[in-house]
Structure 1
Amino acid sequence: MFGLENDRQTLERQLLAIECKLANAEERSETNRYVKSWMKELKSVAYKADNVLDDFQYEALRRQSKSNESTSRMVLGYITRHSPLLFRFEMSRKLKNVLKKINKLVEEMNRCDLENSVNREERQNPWRQTHSKLDETTKIFGRDDDKEVVVKLLLDQQDQRRVQVLPIIGMGGLGKTTLAKMVYNDQGVHQHFKLKMWHCVSDNFDVIALLKSIIELAVNGRCDMPDTIELLRKQLEKVIGQNRFMLVLDDVWNEDESKWEDVLKPLLCSIGGSGSVILVTTRSQKVASIMQTLRPRKITCLNEQDSWEVFAQNAYSNGGQEEIELTSIGRCIVNKCRGLPLALRTMGGLLGSYQQVQEWKAIEESNISENVRGKYEIMSILKLSYKHLSYEMKQCFAFLAVFPKDYEMDKDKLIQLWMANGFIQEKGTMDLTRKGEIIFDELVWRSFLQDKQECKHRYGYVTVNCKMHDLMHDLAKYVTDECASIEELTQQKALLKDVSHMQVTETELQLISGLCKGRTYLRTLLSPSEYYKDYKVLLQVSASLRALHCPLLQLSFARP
């Protein structure tokens, strides 16, 4: 096009080469800060190159649409802002600038021998057509005794006039939420309580939001009341009445005692009939001590046999046999997981894709820390599983950091976002959507995603939704610095130019203009707002967007 075809083709080849370099260098970047910095700059240049190629594609489509215009209008076009001469001049400048930057980084790579320092070959995994669903049919091991104790304790409160609070505590990945679900769905519990409600608190211990959610759960409808605590208090008393209720507050992090003692406790613990209870799950001993009226139930790691059952359920779920040698290696790996269900499921899911003894042995000999406690003990195992994902799966997983914790993701929309950002590449005759479904199922099967379930909607259509465990979300944030919230950027006094993917609220959207200093390279912008009307601010970041989702105004689109 206009004498720039050779340069354009060179840039396309360079972009493919960059993708290969990024895939090969990623492992080394985890331990080498220089390689990580070089990779970040290389990826930034890759995005710029992608934008330049987009400009070519846009111009080609524009010219095609104008091909039937009269000769006089075509001549006039040469002196307007869409002039082919101006386009050639501008694109020539952009091409030379991007190619210069790429060549500079390649020279740096050769000079510092970065490529030879990464001697790992990309492992080729066959695309699996099967997966292990983590649904209600999945057997739960090692929690029956805990369930029995908690259920009995809750039912024994039937004569208590004030609401009793029972915390379940334990570190992340231990199965607190799983135990709460077992209790919540117990037949005796179902018959004992007139009303059952489940609310996931996570990092958001907002009083107004929590009260509205409880009201909505009680009436199974929307609460459109003003954000006034006194009005919400009266409505809460009205909808709960004298019914004996059970409320689960899952994943509570709030350690501000005044929020509970001065505000929520008077509201929640003075309603309902005798025997009403609140079941709290938390990682924090302090949270438990603030909220408890009953002695907390502290859950422990699984014993050796239950640990093996959890591991084997995932490792052999594809029909594989428990060979003696693999079993011996598997038990060594199970011992390193230290009875943590999330780690056991993750490692089982990883090893389920291997059949050779040497492959299991290589993983067993990997550097899994045996001395680090708590969250970081699990993270070392999760990072190992992440390392064994294909490059495409790594990109798709890392992208999930754009969502907040406990966010319910729609499978189809997620695949569209992966496709829009170019994370999924064509493979033979396989449809990109189908390939995205396989990646999604693989992430579920390996426990990177969980709580996969079908949701039926009002007009008959069905969606598949899922969530991500908090520790998996931490892992996604660890492996990428391309996803950030407005709050994080504000706290770090950073600018939007280094962020590629973002989800914002209505209020946060107003702040984007203050973070746009110079050109931005934002590729994904998700706005779940139902009320924001003015999207002029988006013009500041729209040039590089690959995916924009604004549901109310139906402005959701994806650039191929």
Structure 2
Amino acid sequence: MADVLPSPTIIPKSTKSDTLEMMVAELNNTTSEHGHCNSMPTDSSNRTVQKIADRETSSDLEEVIIGRNEEKQKILSVLLESAIQEMVILPIYGIGGIGKTTLAQLVLNDAQFQGYSLVWVYVSQEFNLYKIGNSIISQLTNKTSNISNRQMLHQRLKELFSGNNILIVLDDLWEEKQTRLAELKVMLGLGLGRKVIIVTTRDGSLARKICSPAVTPYKLETLTVDECWTILKQKADFENRVDKEQLEHIGREIATKCGGVALAAQSLGYMLNGMTSDEWESVRDSYIWNLSTSEGHEVLASLKLSYSHMSDWLKLCFSYCAIFPKGHKIVKYDLIHQWVALGFVEQSRIFDSMQLCEKYVTQLLGMSFLQHSKTRQRGYIFHNA
């Protein structure tokens, strides 16, 4: 991996892989119509796929957060009560897209932790103690760490932890094996410094396994309809519409269908931006809302709706992103050049191919199909798309 990435970097949103299963048949039809289904390179031949060194999510708050202040205060109170403990592990759990990562970001950026060394590790489904340990070391030292010997890894962590106050967020943990979780807790417990560990996960059982003995895992509940409506309005630029009085009732009904899930409201809000009132009604009345009643189906339904309103060209570009394995990052301009080379970009008399691809990236980011990748690791430069 190069020391400096010359262009912005984006990554597939974690929910995207789940949604793709629902879209495969339609994507195959679309790619077949355009004659490109055999031109997509495999993982091994694509040299612009670069492995994540650190995390997909980050500690940075990128926009105004709607709701969650009450939950933030509750978590800060629990951590304050546990201040006498040398190490406290507090898990936050809930369904995908509900805002666990956002809540962890809010806590980490609170003034209560001024003077703490702050560490953010995106864990995901690939549980690797060396990856976690080296990421912590890299962030505490601002130097790349690639220690492959467990004894040496533990010794270095022990040195860095001793005498320091450290807040570590382990975002999106999936590992269920008690033995692996025990090894993780041992590694985090090294040294004599004060450590606060926040873990986000979808699994309540996992949360109970990893939390500190005197701590109760925090279950994050869904947002209210009003909060979802506020998010949806913000993304849809609702206040600047001349027909907002006509759309108020329809918009609130759509917000209700979000099921209190922030990601659903964000995706739908971006999609509704610029749509006519008839199109708002079409979204509200779509059959897609009735396809599933499982927990968290609102996220998949909202993303499916967003996908269904993409242009055929944007669908092609999005389907191409599926070749990138989860846990990898995509160099933005490398991706754009691949789209252009494969003929995935529409012809325009007004905009050139690069301008159109920039628009595609912005649309995919806005609909939450992609997200920005950020890192504080030295030698890497990232800019917003």
Q: Compute the TM-score of the two structures, normalised by the length of structure 1.
A: 0.56
Q: What displacement does 1:258 show?
A: 0.7
Match of 1:160 in 2: 85
Q: 2:93 aligned to 164, 169, 174, which one? A: 169
Contact 1:444/1:452 (<8 A) preserved:
no
The equivalences for 1:396-415 within 5 A come to: 396-415=317-336
Q: Which residue of 2 aligns with 1:126?
A: none
The aligned residue for residue 79 of structure 1 is none
Map of 2:52 onto structure 1: none
CA positional deviation for 1:455: 8.7
SS in 2 for 1:245: strand
- The 3 A distance-change label for structure 1 pair 317 and 454 is farther
- Specify the alignment match of 2:348 in structure 1: 427
Q: How far apart in 2 are the matches of 1:463 and 1:268? A: 29
Matched residue SS, 2:337: helix
Partners of 2:265 and 2:323 in 1: CA distance: 26
Matched AA of 2:198: L
1:215 is the counterpart of 2:137: yes
Does structure 1 residue 360 correspond to structure 2 residue 280?
Answer: yes
Following the alignment from structure 2 to structure 1, what is the Cα–Cα distance between the partners of residues 204 and 278? 42
CA contact (8 A) 2:101 2:200 kept: yes
Q: 1:332 to 1:231 in 2, by over 3 A?
A: same
**Residue 255 of structure 2 corresponds to which residue in structure 1?**
334
State how far apart, in whole Å, the 2-side matches of 1:319 and 1:164 are.
Answer: 46
2-structure distance, mates of 1:32, 1:288: 33
1:32: Cα distance to partner? Answer: 11
Select the residue among 377, 382, 386 that pairs with 2:303: 382
- SS at 2:241 equivalent: coil
User: CA distance change for structure 1 residues 306 and 291 in 2, over 3 Å: closer, same or farther?
Assistant: same
CA distance in 2, matches of 1:240, 1:455: 19
- The correspondence of residues 188-337 of structure 1 with structure 2, limited to 5 A, is 188-191=112-115, 193=116, 195-225=117-147, 227-261=148-182, 263-274=183-194, 276-293=195-212, 294-316=215-237, 319-321=240-242, 323-337=244-258
Structure 2: state its 5+ residue gaps. Answer: 1-20, 41-59
How much has 1:329 moved relative to structure 2? 0.9
> Considering only aligned residues, what root-mean-square deviation do their CA atoms show, in Å?
3.1
Q: Distance in 2 between matches of 1:361 and 1:40?
A: 26
Secondary structure at 1:238 match in 2: helix
Give the 3 Å change call, closer, same or farther, for CA 326–456 of structure 1 in structure 2: farther
For 1:345 and 1:32, the matched residues in 2 are separated by 23
Which position in structure 2 is the counterpart of 1:138? 63
Q: How far 1:31 sits from its partner (Å)?
A: 9.7
What SS class does the counterpart of residue 369 from structure 1 fall into?
Answer: helix
1:464 aligns with 2:383: yes
Whole-angstrom distance in 1 between the partners of 2:23 and 2:322:
21
**Residue 303 of structure 2 contacts residue 367 of structure 2 at CA under 8 Å; is this kept in 1?**
no
Gaps of 5+ in 1: 1-28, 51-134, 467-560
Kept in 2, the 8 Å contact 1:453–1:465? The answer is: no
Give the 4+ runs in structure 1 shifted more than 6 A: 29-33, 452-457
Q: 1:318 to 1:406 in 2, by over 3 A?
A: farther
* Residue aligning to 2:365: 444
Label 1:322 to 1:311 Cα distance change in 2 as closer, same or farther (>3 A).
farther
Describe the SS at the equivalent of 1:314: helix
Higher RCO (Cα < 8 Å, 6 or more apart): 2
1:454/1:433 Cα in 2 relative to 1: closer, same or farther (>3 Å)? farther
Counterpart CA distance in 2 for 1:32 and 1:412 is 25
Report which of the two structures shows the higher radius of gyration computed on alpha carbons: 1
Alpha-carbon separation, structure 2, partners of 1:175 and 1:428: 42
Structure 1 residues 408 and 425 mapped into 2: Cα distance closer, same or farther (>3 Å)?
same
Q: Which amino acid aligns with 1:211?
A: G
Contact 1:408-1:465 within 8 A present in 2 as well: no
Structure 1: distance between partners of 2:241 and 2:205: 44
Shift of 1:285: 1.2
Question: Relative to 1, partners in 2 of residues 1:148 and 1:451: Cα closer, same or farther, differing over 3 Å?
Answer: farther
Equivalent in the alignment of 1:148: 73
Spell out, residue by residue over 1:381-433, the C-alpha distance to the aligned partner (whole angstroms, 9 max, x if none). Answer: 21111000011111112222222335443322221222222211321142111
Taking only the aligned residue pairs, the percentage that are identical comes to 30
Q: 1:164 to 1:31 in 2, by over 3 A?
A: closer
* Rounded Cα–Cα distance in structure 2 between residues aligned with 1:152 and 1:277: 13
Instruction: Report if aligned partners of 1:311, 1:347 keep a CA contact under 8 Å in 2.
Output: yes
- What per-residue deviation string (whole Å, max 9, x for no partner) do you get for residues 196-216 of structure 1? 111000011111222111111
Deviation at 1:137, TM superposition (A): 5.7
Contact 2:39 2:342 in 1 (8 A): no
1:450 aligned partner, one-letter code: Q
Distance 1:337 1:311, change over 3 A: same
Q: Distance in 1 between matches of 2:38 and 2:106?
A: 50
Aligned ranges 1:531-550 → 2 under 5 Å = none
**Residue identity in the other structure for 1:181:** Q
Q: How many residues align?
A: 344
Tell me how far 1:337 sits from its aligned partner: 1.0
1:494 aligns with: none
Structure 1 contact 410–465 (Cα < 8 Å) conserved:
no
Q: Deviations over 1:475-496 (max 9, x none)?
A: xxxxxxxxxxxxxxxxxxxxxx
